[in-house]
Amino acid sequence: MRAIVNTNYGAPDVLELREIDKPLPDSGDVLVRVKAASVNALDWHFMRGLPYVLRAAGGGMLKPKATVRGVDVAGLVEAVGAEATGFQVGEEVFGGLAGAFAEYACGSQEKLVRKPVGLTFAQAAAVPIAGCTALQALRDQGQLQSGQRVLINGAAGGVGTFAVQIAKAFAAEVTGVCNTGNIELVRSLGADHVIDYTADDFTKGLRYDLIIDCVGNHRLGDLRRALTATGTLVMVGGDTGNWLGPLIRPLQGLVLSRFIKQRLRFFIANINTADLVALSELVDDGKLTPVIDRTYPLNETPEAIRYLETRHARGKTVITM
């Protein structure tokens, strides 16, 4: 099968399109014929081996241990293991499988659910990581309640476009922060208010019960100033430094949280069946629609990741087969 292979750390040019063996499902696995996959910050972090803490945590010190990138996937069930009784060959599914930038991807059935009928494969592939991140940030980390005031910093990005819609589904008062060119997009997603960061500084205005920071371009002190006295900050994006990268601010927040009433949270999203189903139900109810900026064929995956690295993508960037 054709796959995008990453045998050395570096810029997108290190990614190569190669012929490799098709994976075989273990007893609890599902083999999926990939129709679409989407690109996430996770992919370029592991492609570059940055921050270095990822290498020490099991990514491989000198070279990547896992050589096929990609996690978000949508496609058709090709084969199932003996214990993967939840799916049948030919069913349309989406979820999170390692090695998604390939013609076939294989992994646990616990990371897959049936694709909503109303979504294309490209739209479904856009959902898993960004959708689960937004849902878990709002519901679990932020404990968002109906009527609360929530601000999404980076509202036009991959996680942000999901967060705006999910927060509205939770009946929150939603403010989105984006640049001038994305104001109408964020409004169309249901935001009650939109702040153009090129003209206004949201940290000097109203106070919010919950801030979801998808960007990481503000100091903790400035973000805390925009929170209520007992408000919550959830950090899902951050600095791209070489050593600790996006972990710097969460570590600062962990220490600071011991001394203040505000809650400062950081987490890594978990793709799981229950939350994929919850996202599917929001889609079916007409409350959630994935936003796709650009699509690329498999052989142009390096260009797709290069575009993601500009940090100006509107919604999701998708690879189609």
Provide the pLDDT confidence category of residue 193 given band limits of 50, 70 and 90.
very high
Among 114, 140, 139, 161, CA closest to 276: 114
Average pLDDT, the chain: 92
> Which pLDDT value is given to residue 142?
97
pLDDT tens sequence across 99-141: 999 999 999 999 999 999 999 999 999 999 999 999 999 999 9
Provide the pLDDT confidence category of residue 66 given band limits of 50, 70 and 90.
confident
Would you list the domain boundaries of the chain? 2-127+290-320, 130-266
Give yes or no for residue 38 having a pLDDT over 90: yes
> Which pLDDT value is given to residue 65?
79
> Which pLDDT value is given to residue 274?
98
Mean pLDDT of 259-268: 86
130-266, CATH topology level: Rossmann fold (3.40.50)
What letter does residue 247 receive in the DSSP assignment? G
Token representation of residue 188: 């169309």
E strand or H helix that includes residue 252: helix 248-256
Domains 2-127+290-320 and 130-266 share a fold: no
Give yes or no for residue 50 having a pLDDT over 70: no
Percent of the residues in the chain that have a pLDDT greater than 90, as a whole number = 80
Q: Sheet with 227-235: list strands edge to edge.
A: 193-196, 173-178, 149-153, 208-213, 227-235, 263-266
Least trusted range by pLDDT, from 21-30, 45-54, 259-268, 303-312: 45-54
> Which pLDDT value is given to residue 165?
98
Provide the pLDDT confidence category of residue 181 given band limits of 50, 70 and 90.
very high
Among 266, 178, 182, 252, CA closest to 222: 252
> Which pLDDT value is given to residue 4?
97
> Which pLDDT value is given to residue 45?
83
Provide the pLDDT confidence category of residue 58 given band limits of 50, 70 and 90.
low
Give yes or no for residue 289 having a pLDDT over 70: yes
Q: How far is CA 244 from CA 214, 232, 238, 255, in A?
A: 17, 23, 10, 16
> Which pLDDT value is given to residue 63?
82
pLDDT tens sequence across 229-254: 999 999 997 655 554 456 666 666 56
pTM: 0.93
Among 64, 57, 73, 132, CA closest to 108: 73
> Which pLDDT value is given to residue 248?
65
The Cα–Cα gap between 157 and 235 comes to 14
pLDDT tens sequence across 271-286: 999 999 999 999 999 9
> Which pLDDT value is given to residue 243?
42
Give yes or no for residue 256 having a pLDDT over 70: no
Among 317, 258, 262, 270, CA closest to 292: 317
2-127+290-320, CATH topology level: Quinone Oxidoreductase; Chain A, domain 1 (3.90.180)
Mean pLDDT of 215-237: 93
Mean pLDDT of 179-190: 98
Mean pLDDT of 184-207: 97
Among 130, 142, 153, 171, CA closest to 275: 130
